[in-house]
Structure 1
Amino acid sequence: MRLLVARCSATYEGRLSSTLTSAVRLIMVKADGCVALHADVGAYKPLNWMNAPNTLLEQERRWVVTNPKGEKLTIELEEVFEDVSHELDTERGLTLDGVEKELQELLAAHPSHLEQDLVCIQREFRTDLGPVDLLCRDVDGGAVAVEIKRIGEIDGVEQLTRYLERMQRDPLLAPVRGVFAATVIKPQARVLAESRGIACVEVDLGRLRGEDDLTLRLF
């Protein structure tokens, strides 16, 4: 990971346009190419960012980040106070909380509750961006990537989208469908998932734990 502390301004051109006025900010460049600008407030959420895959063009006082969708983030560097790089682990090291872990275990054992005749091939299937929770095959033999969350939000859809982009490059898997599973899926996440062809499944964990009448709602 590369970290820059710099006085900078930025403009974004894409689905919407935005401008950041000059200020001292933290610029993060991650191993997968993601570029994010942070202020000294706001927890983990950046002020602006560009997800991978993208291209970073470094000029003397300007960075230009573009992606295949035609979006562009331009960062004007006025003064650089710190520029350091460190090797960090790229795998997801955080253990799933109890609910997510239990959901993963139960759905791996009973994938047909997500989709009829679905078969789980592997848990924590590795991609070069991290592991997708379940790799499954459907009744026609097609690959299905399943990402599981306690609460389904936009970040989870974005995460699954990145995994799907990588998995589509593997000729042994492509084409790959996505399923986003959670106990509750937020409306914005559902809209985003459906716009990308990702199925959403809301899981009633209490019923999945062992009651005979297991009902999942597929939207």
Structure 2
Amino acid sequence: MKWLFNKTENTHPEFWTNYESLFLEQKEGDITASTYVILDTETTGFNYDKDRMLSIGAVKIINGYIDISTAFEIYIKQDYFDENTVQIHGILKNDKFETVTEDEAIVLFLDYIKDSILVAHNAYFDIGMINAAFKRHGLPELKNKVLDTMHLFRATRTKSTVIPPKKTYSLEDLAEHYDIDLSDRHTASGDALITALAFLKSIHFLIKTKNYTLKELFKL
């Protein structure tokens, strides 16, 4: 599927303008009432220009609960493939997954997330890979607000002059701390669910012990 649009400035396909229109009104957010899309991407590598997304997995949190029934998972057809990353994500170029093209994935993903708050672990990477795909198809960057579970978890740590807090925490660190099963680690859908569980536990702590607001979470 290829979308066609005029080459005049600031003209984009209808699916993008529909998505963009969701952000015309400024909304006051509440931590527990907001809708979150917790996402993860599996990729061929870490280079935004050369590498590509292999899959996107996501799950929604609505009214404080993970909505498994609306979980999102797509596999993307590959023109570029790095066999060195197979041991990490387990996705083979010719494996028997139903796949979509990158432009189809963009349309499906935007329809799924709408104006939800996006959440990921080391979010700058996943959001960067998604935005790189948008750029290849002549689209602007994502407009959704974003939270990073690494920053949220770091805010839960007790500050000490004796033992300084770590600068970074892996998803495994969060899973170990919160006793979350890691059996589905390194699949996009599995990592999204692990991240969702860690997200709920982290914000519950921040609300209960530090009275955080949603506005304050975005500053972490």
Tell me, yes or no, whether TM beats 0.5.
no
- TM-score, normalised relative to structure 1: 0.26
| Bigger RCO (CA 8 Å, 6+ sep) | 2
Q: Greater share of helix residues, 1 or 2?
A: 2
Which has the larger Rg? 1
